[in-house]
Structure 1
Amino acid sequence: MINRPRSAARRAVRTLALTAALALTVTACGDDGSAVGSPGAEGTGKGKIVFWDNNGGVRTAVWKEIIA
């Protein structure tokens, strides 16, 4: 009889953990952008990258090539 409350508590903890994991999984799903705003309101996906480097060595050319 002593072990019975302990197993009920474990079951409750497992149920709570499973419920929390499922809730996080469901809310982590991405949206298709249809909830708010007009189609295409997300933007073009283009922007400007400003490159800052405190070492003007050969790495600057390498990073400019990677960014371009």
Structure 2
Amino acid sequence: CISPCERYVATASLDCTIRLWSTRDGEHLWTFGDDHSWATHLLFSLDGRFLASGDKEGRVRIRLL
């Protein structure tokens, strides 16, 4: 999932983590790892300040970036 400003990419992994990356240089910026199920959907807010994730159990989490 690419942020609206195109500066960040969020990825979800089968190890139940969500990672935030810089599109400029590919640098790993942050890992969110407190989920108990892997994310199946990711979405940045229009202003890029929040990242929403949905998992296979139907839970939605919103994180302040």
Q: What TM-score bracket applies, with the shorter chain setting the length?
A: under 0.3
| Structure with more contact order per residue of length (Cα contacts < 8 Å, sep ≥ 6) | 2
Structure number with bigger Rg: 1
| Structure ranking higher in helix proportion | 1
Calculate the TM-score normalised by the size of structure 2.
0.17
